[in-house]
Amino acid sequence: MTRPILMGAVAYDPKVVPIWDGIREYLKEAGPGMDYVLFSNYEAQVDALISGFIDIAWNTNLAYVRTHRRTDGHCRALAMRDTDVDYSSVIVVRKDAGMNTLADLRGRTLALGSRDSGHAAILPLYFLKRQDIDAQRELKLLRFDLDVGKHGDTGASESAVLNAVASGQADAGAVGDPFWAKALEERAVDGEKVRLLWNTPAYHHCNFTALESLEESRFEPWVEALLRMDYNDSKHRPLLDMEGLKRWLPAQTEGYRTLFEAVDEQGLEL
C-alpha cells in the first residue's frame, strides 16, 4: 500500500491548521491521501524536503529558489494558486512628499519589509534597478526585519512599512500588491495620506515543490485531486478562501526567473 503524501507547511498564522486539516480531509476522500507537518520557518522546511523527511513543501518563491539552488535544479514545482501567477509588488508614497515618478525617489527614504521577503524587499529592489534606481546607493533604506524565516508571510513587516510611510518615518515603501489592496479595503492604511506610485512587473509567488526523486505515481494523483477542488463547492470554498485562491493550477516556472536573478544580483546566501 502506498503511504500518503507527507506535506510541509510553515505555521505563519493560526489559520494554517484549519486550512491543511480541511485539505487533508478532502484528499483523504478524493483518494490519494495526505498528512502534513508544520515548520516554524522555511529554511527548516527546505532542509526537511531535501533530507526526504517530507515529500512535498508548500513553498514561497524564495523557498523554491533555495530548494532549486541546493539541489542543482533536481526539484520540480507541482502546483500553485491562481493568485500566485500574476503577483506583483508596489511602491507607495506619502501624498505630501512631492513624488510623482520613480526618479523622485532618489535621495529619499524607502521602507522595505523583511530581508527574506521576495515581495516586500528582494524583488522591489531588483525591479527598481531595472528602472535605473540603484536603491542601495541612491536611497536611504529603512528595513523592517520582522518574522524573519517566514519570508514575509505574516504581513508584519508590510504593516510596519505602511505605518512608516503614513507617519513620515519614510517617504516611500515597498509591499506586495495583494497586501496593499487588502490594507485599503480594510482601511488599515489612510488612503488620504498614502498613495500608489508604481507597480512592478508580475512574477510568481508560492508553489508546491518536490524533489525529482518523488515518483510520478505518488504525486500525480495528489496534484490531480488538488486541481479538482471547486470554488463553487460549499465544502471547498472556505478552505480556498482562507488560502487566498479560487482554483489550483498546474505549476508554471517562468515567473520565478526574476527572483533567481535578484538573489544572485544581491548576493543573498541560500
Average pLDDT (132-156) is: 97
pLDDT of 31 reads 83
Residue 85 has pLDDT above 60, yes or no: yes
Compute the chain's Rg from CA coordinates: 19
Instruction: Give the domains, in start order, of the chain with CATH numbers.
Output: 5-84+204-265 (3.40.190.10), 89-199 (3.40.190.10)
Per residue in 102-132, pLDDT (tens digit) is 999 999 999 999 999 999 999 999 999 999 9
Show contacts of 188-192: CB within 8 Å, 24+ apart: 188/159, 188/162, 189/162, 190/166, 192/95
Average pLDDT of the chain, as a whole number? 96
pLDDT digits (tens, 9 = 90+) for 165-205: 999 999 999 999 999 999 999 999 999 999 999 999 999 99
Model confidence band, residue 242 (pLDDT cutoffs 50, 70, 90): very high
The pLDDT of 243-249, averaged and rounded, is 97
Report percent pLDDT > 70 for the chain: 99
The pTM (predicted TM-score) of the whole model is 0.96
pLDDT at 21 over 60: yes
Mean pLDDT of 213-241: 96
Cell (9 digits) for 80: 500553485
Identity at 2, one-letter amino acid code: T
Indicate the pLDDT class of residue 41, thresholds 50, 70 and 90: very high
pLDDT class for 3, splitting at 50, 70, 90? confident
β-strands 207-211, 75-81 pairing: antiparallel
> Which residues lie closer than 8 Å to 179 by C-beta, 6 or more apart?
119, 120, 155, 158
Residue 1's pLDDT is what? 55
Instruction: Specify the pLDDT at position 270.
Output: 80
**Largest CA-CA distance found in the chain, in angstroms, rounded:** 66
Q: How far is CA 95 from CA 30, 129, 151, 189, 193, in A?
A: 51, 23, 29, 13, 5
The predicted structure's pLDDT at residue 32: 87
| pLDDT tens digits, one per residue of 42-84 | 999 999 999 999 999 999 999 999 999 999 999 999 999 999 9
The predicted structure's pLDDT at residue 71: 98
Query: For residue 196, what are the β-bridge partners?
Result: 92
**Per-residue pLDDT, 119:** 98
pLDDT of residue 217: 93
